[in-house]
Amino acid sequence: NGQGAKQDYFKAVEWYSKAAEQGNADAQCSLGGCFMSGRGVKQDYVQAFEWFLKAVEQGNADAQYNLAFCYQHGR
């Protein structure tokens, strides 16, 4: 919750990317979600899958769910 701050998906992707590149599993999962939904970036299922997979490899449960969704829906 931004506590009244305006949502800025482009800025969110910027920060998620920095943390994800450093190996933060939560950021990797969130970045995958941005690619899946097309918020702050061009929608890209391949990128989403790759970021979810990186987070899954670290045991992130949310990423496991999202990766299963990708498989289920052929993404």
Q: What is the pLDDT of residue 5?
A: 79
7-45 pLDDT, tens per residue?
899 999 999 999 999 999 999 999 999 999 999 999 999
Q: Which residues lie closer than 8 Å to 12 by C-beta, 6 or more apart?
A: 30, 34, 39, 40
Q: Is the predicted pLDDT of residue 2 greater than 70, yes or no?
A: no
Q: Which residues lie closer than 8 Å to 55 by C-beta, 6 or more apart?
A: 25, 26, 28, 29, 32, 62, 63
- Does the global pTM surpass 0.85? yes
Q: What is the pLDDT of residue 3?
A: 73
Q: Which amino acid is at 16?
A: Y
Which residue has better confidence, 59 or 1?
Answer: 59
Helix (H, G, I), strand (E, B) or coil at 13: helix
